[in-house]
Amino acid sequence: MATTRPERGRTGPRRLGNLQGERVYLRPPSTDDTALLFEWLNDPEAIAPWDRFEVESYRSMEEAIHRSSEDQTSLAPRFLIVRKKGDYPIGVVGYFKSNTALDSIDVWYAITIEKERGRGYGKEAVRLMVDYLFAHFRTERVGATSDIDNPASMGMLRSLGFREEGKLRRALFHHGEVHDVVVYGVTRPEWQDARDRRH
Ligand X SMILES: CC(C)(COP(=O)(O)OP(=O)(O)OC[C@H]1O[C@@H](n2cnc3c(N)ncnc32)[C@H](O)[C@@H]1OP(=O)(O)O)[C@@H](O)C(=O)NCCC(=O)NCCS
- Does position 151 bind ligand X by CB under 6 A? yes
How, if at all, do strands 104-111 and 141-147 pair? parallel
Cα separation of 151 and 154, whole Å?
Answer: 5
Q: How far is the CB of 31 from ligand X (least distance, A)?
A: 24
User: Residues 57 to 96: which contact ligand X by CB under 6 A?
Assistant: none
Of all residues in the shown chain, the one whose CB is closest to ligand X is 122
Which of 27, 117, 174, 195 is close enough to bind ligand X by CB under 6 A? 117
Q: Which stretch binds ligand X (CB under 6 A): 11-19, 22-30, 109-117, 184-192?
A: 109-117
Cβ neighbours of residue 38 closer than 8 Å, sequence gap 6 or more? 55, 58, 61
> Is 123 among the residues that bind ligand X (CB under 6 A)?
yes
Judge whether 160 and 130 are in contact, CB under 8 Å.
Answer: yes
Output the 3-class SS for 28-78: CCCHHHHHHHHHHHHCCCCCCCCCCCCCCCHHHHHHHHHHHHHCCCCCCCC
Give the C-alpha separation, 48 to 173, whole Å.
11
Q: Contact between 50 and ligand X (CB under 6 A)?
A: yes
Contact range with ligand X by CB under 6 A, out of 1-9, 114-122, 161-169, 190-198: 114-122
Nearer Cβ to ligand X, position 119 or 136? 119
Binding site for ligand X (CB under 6 A): 50, 108-111, 117-123, 146, 150-153, 155-156, 159
